[in-house]
Structure 1
Amino acid sequence: MDRSLPPPVGPALNGDAARLAKRRTRRVSAIGLMLADQVLIFIGFAIAYWMRYGATWPEPLNRIVVEVATRNQVDFVAFLPIILPHMLFLGLRFTTRGLYRGSPRINLLDQISAILSSTLIGIALLIVFVFLYKPFFYSRLIFFFAGATITFLLVAWRLLLWGYHHWRWSRGQAQDRVLVIGGTGLGQQVMNGIAASPGLGYALVGYLDDRPIVASDRTPRVYRHLGQIEELEQVVRAQNVQQVIIALPFWEHGRMPDLVQTCHDLGVGYQVAPDFYQLSFDRVDVLQLSGVPLLRPKEITLAGVNLVLKRVLDVSLVLASMIVVIPITLVIALAIKLDSPGPIIFGQRRVGKGGQHFTCYKFRTMVPDAEARKAELEALNEADGPLFKMRDDPRVTRVGRFLRRRSLDELPQLWNVLRGEMSLIGPRPALPDEVARYEHWQLRRLEVLPGCAGLSQALGRSDVSFDEQVRLDLYYAENWSVGMDLRILIMIIPAIIGGHGAY
């Protein structure tokens, strides 16, 4: 069944013109973004000047600031000789860090990191320069204010842009037309990811492979086959392709230089997906023995000190969120009580770390006899593997449907986190009957605490296949870091807001 698809867009000439127009649009957008940053940097200095000399602060801080301000105040114009070079420095710094590449897909955390580091370096250089040459002319405090206001404005501006782009992409607007090279294994995985996550800004056109993929139990979702790999140039022109993702199996990597050169000649963007799918190199460590490479299964990093660090992070974040969570839970509890009879909280036996059973708490989203009715709905299961999922489950209540769509039904699991039975980030807690049907390799996901959310929720939620969920869980457990947890928390926000894949 063909599910990809935007139709072909006119002749090759129209495709070339569209790509040129897109590149011009991105150049104009990059210039506009640079000019907006420059304006915000200037405004940041102006706000810092006001904070230093015009703002009213709480006592006794106001008395100290005002007293020093009246003694050392200078006109705003006097700061222009240092403001303008600072604007130029940050503009050049942001350019070298890739913030103006013309693509809205630059990682948000990388952008924020570049802004923070560049602003700190710029302010530090200003302080050194100013106090070497004019040590008593400028206020020291104004530079602290300037660093804070400039960072805040630039980060807020990037967050607004990111939200705007994601909002448009999630509605199918301004998406890049993507062609995947490779249809089996890794290629299928890449296409599933694109189809499951429209918020990435990609519209899948189809794939190239020397043999079309036939639907089967292993590949239930079949995409549009556009031809053989040698037909890359013709297909790119005919379909107005703007991005190519090369996802070939490792034994065909010898064809990659020609494919990359073709993409370069056509002026289309390309990305390469490394084939760790078949060899599972993501799950091994490479060692050296007198120059001979050895492979061994990768160790779970969530142990020892890392486990203590993760526990501290979990408890701290849960306690910090209580001021917001408690009022929301009270409103939800009232809505559930008014909507349908039955308990507000639903407790269910789940399998945790090491196969230990525990009671997982959620807001009730189904009718009271939901478990008894599950058997009659088994034939309508839409999930693969041992999972059970239905998009239009008749057992779900009106309030429950909204709670599931926004993942609010899982708020009581914060109690499980405080009890040490779950973590904020980790594999989905499985039901005992699901675990009983696991394949041997899938049991490894039980070596870490289950989580309220994980990589699969961030990347596709219920639209990710079960095997891929397990692979993502294992990757998380084997490569855990504090930064990864924070990245996943940020990635989950648009998935929850958009409600994509949740049911």
Structure 2
Amino acid sequence: MQLSQAGGKVIVPRRAGTRTATPTWASFVMPSADALSDAGLVWLAFAFAYGLRYRWEIGGTVPAADFQPFSTFYLPALLLAGLVMAVFAIRGIYVLPRWIGLLDLTSSIVGGLTTSMAGVILLAYFFRFNPSRLTFLYAFVIALVALLAKRFVVDRLRHRLWRRGIGVQRVLVLGAGTSGRRIIEGFLSSPMLGYQMVGYLDDEDAVAEMTVGTERGVVRAARLGRLVDLEPITTELGISEVVIALAATDAGSVERLVERCRLANLPFRVVPDLFQLAVDRVELGEVAGVPLIGLRDARITGWNDVMKRLMDITVSATVLVIAALPMLVLAWGIRRDSRGPVLCHQRRVGKNARSTRVTKFRTMVDGAAEQWEAMVAATDGADPRRFKVPNDPRRTRLGRWMRRWSLDELPQFWDILRGRMSLVGPRPALPSEVAHYEEWHKQRFLVRPGLTGLWQVNGRSNLTFDEMVRLDLYYAEHWSPWLDAKILLRTIPAVLSGRGAY
């Protein structure tokens, strides 16, 4: 992001052709239509399931004595449709934020549909109704596919409309510090999220405009005034939502802004300081009436560790078999491209700060390691804890291409299979990097290093080191098999986009 200094106060009018989402439409009409369409899909799923079982006899011939008319399933189908709407509403599926994608929705939809179907089956058992189990199974599978397919289509349609400025939310950011700049950059570069970045308020006069280079060219966000101008500016510009992005040290200011937003009946969100995420680890207790506060251990232990290891073994073994031939081709290309070994073995700091060996395809010229310290010293403002160069001159021709698509990391699946690494976890650090760590940074060694992680799917090399470590700690404290699965699935588009890969 580039910052330019300019004087004066800039007011951003509503963009031509832009249609914002009205409160009634966003809070009632759309959720109601979403719920009713879900109910309709569930009903159709039951009808199709009935046809599969009783018309086409999928799953075995149905004896004449066991044949049931579709009217028998009217009540279960209606009940399931109603339960799906109720459970989905309780889970908040109909009022999710705009940035929630299909991947995040999947677990809620699967859980909600499973809960609803279990409720119907229990009621059927209680009232001694004994329909075909296969019909219920077919209905569940068809309904799940239909509900997910509907959301995929709606998601694609919404993004296309938002790109054209239809149904967007006009957003005002409060604060232009580190957090404010990051969120402003995100809004400006991601119109598909459905937000129009109108501008920002900040009490500092030095920066009057922010510009960000995107696929659509350079886009700008203007400083519209000071924080005291919040109410008149939101009214004048038709602001739909406010994002408060002040530093944690300005807690008093954040509290006052929150209260002002509430009094003005203005929707708002607060960007948290990543240090504050550790609050989830707090455990409360008491001894003889004396309250005690502790912190949960961030380590992944017990059955959680066993499940994670089983996933590592299964996935890494599968990938090694599938990628065996491409890896041989890459090895041949490395041999032809430059002098030196095919594989590069590096000592890294792993779990519990123990030394471990990590294997990668060689992407640099011979003697690249000896040039590293000189490059760090020669680069003004370089962070030795994670020094990266976008156009590193030490890379070979093939190495640049391999780094672009992260193909140099394929041999690390062997390290994962052997237990040196995990599929998901903190980036394995070099000993020379660890020498510059602060004490709190070393908490990332509580878990096994990973091939990918939250840092990989949230900016990769574009993140600062502190941001990367905080994401690593958040991952360790909130680990679940589903979180690993989501990170792995999000890694695919992150790698294919090549953003931050250097």
Question: Smaller-chain TM-score range?
Answer: 0.7 to 0.9
Identify the residue that residue 441 of structure 2 maps to in structure 1: 442
Q: Determine if contact 1:381/1:390 at 8 Å carries over to the other structure.
A: no
Matched, 1:140 2:148: no
Q: Determine if contact 1:383/1:465 at 8 Å carries over to the other structure.
A: no
Residue type at the aligned position of 1:348: Q
1:325-347 per-residue CA deviation (whole Å, 9 max, x = no partner) reads 44554565566566666544332
How many residue pairs get aligned? The number is 482
Matched, 1:40 2:61: no
Larger CA deviation: 112-121 vs 177-186 = 177-186
Residue type at the aligned position of 1:352: G
Query: Going by fraction, where is strand more abundant, 1 or 2?
Result: 2
Matched, 1:115 2:109: yes
SS in 2 for 1:2: strand
- Per-residue deviation at 1:199? 7.4
- Per-residue deviation at 1:150? 1.2
Larger CA deviation: 454-463 vs 206-215 = 206-215
> Take 1:232 and 1:126, find their aligned partners in 2: how far apart are those partners?
51
> Take 2:145 and 2:329, find their aligned partners in 1: how far apart are those partners?
32
Matched, 1:10 2:9: no
- Per-residue deviation at 1:491? 4.0
Identify the residue that residue 72 of structure 1 maps to in structure 2: 66
- Per-residue deviation at 1:52? 2.0
Q: Over the residues paired in the alignment, what is the CA RMSD in angstroms?
A: 4.4
SS in 1 for 2:426: coil
Identify the residue that residue 214 of structure 2 maps to in structure 1: none
Q: Where do 1:163-312 residues align within 5 Å?
A: 176-184=169-177, 187=180, 205-212=198-205, 225-237=223-235, 241-248=239-246, 249-261=250-262, 264-265=265-266, 269-274=267-272, 277=275, 281=279, 288=286, 298-303=296-301, 306-312=304-310
**Identical positions, percent:** 38
> Take 2:343 and 2:165, find their aligned partners in 1: how far apart are those partners?
37
1:451-477 per-residue CA deviation (whole Å, 9 max, x = no partner) reads 111221122211111011122223333
> In structure 2, do the counterparts of structure 1 residues 178 and 395 end up closer, same or farther at CA, with 3 Å as the change threshold?
farther
> Take 1:323 and 1:293, find their aligned partners in 2: how far apart are those partners?
55
> In structure 2, do the counterparts of structure 1 residues 79 and 235 end up closer, same or farther at CA, with 3 Å as the change threshold?
same
> Take 1:323 and 1:176, find their aligned partners in 2: how far apart are those partners?
47
- Per-residue deviation at 1:211? 3.2
> Take 1:78 and 1:346, find their aligned partners in 2: how far apart are those partners?
67
1:103-159 per-residue CA deviation (whole Å, 9 max, x = no partner) reads 4434656633332233234333444555666846x4232112111221233234435
Q: Determine if contact 1:276/1:282 at 8 Å carries over to the other structure.
A: no
Residue type at the aligned position of 1:112: T
Q: Determine if contact 1:458/1:492 at 8 Å carries over to the other structure.
A: yes
- Per-residue deviation at 1:380? 5.2
Identify the residue that residue 351 of structure 1 maps to in structure 2: 349
2:142 to 133, 141, 149: 149
SS in 2 for 1:415: helix
1:99 to 93, 97, 103: 93
Q: Which runs of 5+ in 2 are unaligned?
A: 209-219
Q: Which runs of 5+ in 1 are unaligned?
A: 216-221
Residue type at the aligned position of 2:143: I
Residue type at the aligned position of 2:265: H
- Per-residue deviation at 1:434? 1.2
1:190-230 per-residue CA deviation (whole Å, 9 max, x = no partner) reads 55776798876656555433335779xxxxxx986432212
Q: Determine if contact 1:361/1:416 at 8 Å carries over to the other structure.
A: yes
> Take 2:95 and 2:278, find their aligned partners in 1: how far apart are those partners?
33
> Take 2:463 and 2:49, find their aligned partners in 1: how far apart are those partners?
47
2:363 to 365, 384, 388: 365
Residue type at the aligned position of 1:417: I
- Per-residue deviation at 1:369? 5.2
> Take 1:210 and 1:273, find their aligned partners in 2: how far apart are those partners?
18
> In structure 2, do the counterparts of structure 1 residues 214 and 486 end up closer, same or farther at CA, with 3 Å as the change threshold?
same
> In structure 2, do the counterparts of structure 1 residues 160 and 494 end up closer, same or farther at CA, with 3 Å as the change threshold?
farther
- Per-residue deviation at 1:255? 0.6
> Take 1:375 and 1:150, find their aligned partners in 2: how far apart are those partners?
58
- Per-residue deviation at 1:429? 0.7
> In structure 2, do the counterparts of structure 1 residues 244 and 478 end up closer, same or farther at CA, with 3 Å as the change threshold?
same
- TM-score normalized by structure 2? 0.77
> In structure 2, do the counterparts of structure 1 residues 133 and 387 end up closer, same or farther at CA, with 3 Å as the change threshold?
closer
Identify the residue that residue 430 of structure 2 maps to in structure 1: 431
Q: Determine if contact 2:347/2:356 at 8 Å carries over to the other structure.
A: yes
Q: Determine if contact 1:26/1:102 at 8 Å carries over to the other structure.
A: no
Identify the residue that residue 316 of structure 1 maps to in structure 2: 314
Matched, 1:476 2:488: no
SS in 1 for 2:309: helix
> In structure 2, do the counterparts of structure 1 residues 450 and 86 end up closer, same or farther at CA, with 3 Å as the change threshold?
closer
Residue type at the aligned position of 2:92: G
